[in-house]
Amino acid sequence: MLPERASPNAPIGAFLKKEGPHMAAKLPDGAIVSLATTYASAITITAVTNANPGVASATAHGLANGDLVYVVSGWSNLNNRVVRVASSATNTFALEGIDTSSTTLYPIGSGTGTVTKISAFTQVSQIMGFTTSGGDQQFANYSFLEQNFETQIPTIFSAQSISIDIADDPTLAGYIALKAASDARATRALKLAMPDGSFVLYQGYVSFNETPTLNKGQVMQVKCSFSLQSRPVRYAS
């Protein structure tokens, strides 16, 4: 079907301009991956509200808006996540982007725990590839005796991991940080900063393979895997 012309007397090629739905396609070129390497002392959370966003109570916490914190909480949907601090006051702060209003997912009074400020990140440079696997909705299949077809109901999301290929150079700060995190067998935060200013925060275990791949005529690479312990948190800016 041809586009509608502006008027009967309009020249051929003059058409009405119609706005379509907003769409965007982006390239990852320029994205930066960083690993948390320095943490402050843990801060005790005495309460978290059921709100959007949830507001945590912590006496004289000293956190500022924009700080990134690692959360340990009695709420499984909040536990082991990395979030940004907002609306900081002397004894309270908001967990930006975290909707805790559902008392089914976030039972009243059970959100206590700790937050730990991430003081420094180290960039992982010379990345050749960044891929993810898992994180998909799983389903349980069932069928009643009288039925001749199966039905699915959602269960849990599968475990998710990130695979990072890095051009081999053991002198790089990112290489050293990944190796240290892998040796420590402790969870770390990972930050993926996009060229448009948005970023994604992950928390997981680092596994680093120092043996480079050797293919004639190709760049030597080492591989790091990052096993997520919670669902990621994404911020638009």
- Which pLDDT score, from 0 to 100, does residue 169 have? 97
Q: Which of 224, 217, 214, 121 is nearest to 166 (CA)?
A: 224
Residue found by looking up tokens 């005495």 in the block: 46
Rounded distance between C-alpha atoms, residue 67 and residue 201, angstroms: 13
Q: Is 197 left (phi over 0), alpha (psi -120 to 50) or beta?
A: left
- Which pLDDT score, from 0 to 100, does residue 111 have? 96
- Which pLDDT score, from 0 to 100, does residue 209 have? 96
> What does the pLDDT profile of the chain (237 residues) look like in tens digits?
444 444 555 554 444 445 566 778 889 999 999 999 999 999 999 999 999 999 999 999 999 999 999 999 999 999 999 999 999 999 999 999 999 999 999 999 999 999 999 999 999 999 999 999 999 999 999 999 999 999 999 999 999 999 999 999 999 999 999 999 999 999 999 999 999 999 999 999 999 999 999 999 999 999 999 999 999 999 999
CB neighbours (10 Å) of residue 30? 9
- Which pLDDT score, from 0 to 100, does residue 16 have? 47
- Which pLDDT score, from 0 to 100, does residue 1 have? 46
CA distances from 108 to 80, 87, 101, 220 (A): 19, 22, 10, 52
- Which pLDDT score, from 0 to 100, does residue 8 have? 52
- Which pLDDT score, from 0 to 100, does residue 20 have? 61
Find the length of the chain: 237
* Half-sphere exposure in the Cβ direction for 157 (13 Å, CA): 13
CA distances from 79 to 6, 145, 169, 229, 232 (A): 58, 40, 35, 9, 11
Domains of the chain, CATH where assigned: 37-119 (2.40.30.180), 123-235 (no CATH)
- Which pLDDT score, from 0 to 100, does residue 13 have? 47
CB neighbours (10 Å) of residue 4? 9
CA distances from 181 to 12, 30, 43, 136 (A): 66, 25, 22, 27
CB neighbours (10 Å) of residue 230? 19
CB neighbours (10 Å) of residue 174? 22
Q: Whole-model pTM?
A: 0.87
Exposure string of 87-99, with b = 16+ CB inside 10 Å and e = fewer, is ebeeebbbbbbbe
Could you report the per-residue pLDDT of 86-143, keeping only the tens digit for each? Answer: 999 999 999 999 999 999 999 999 999 999 999 999 999 999 999 999 999 999 999 9
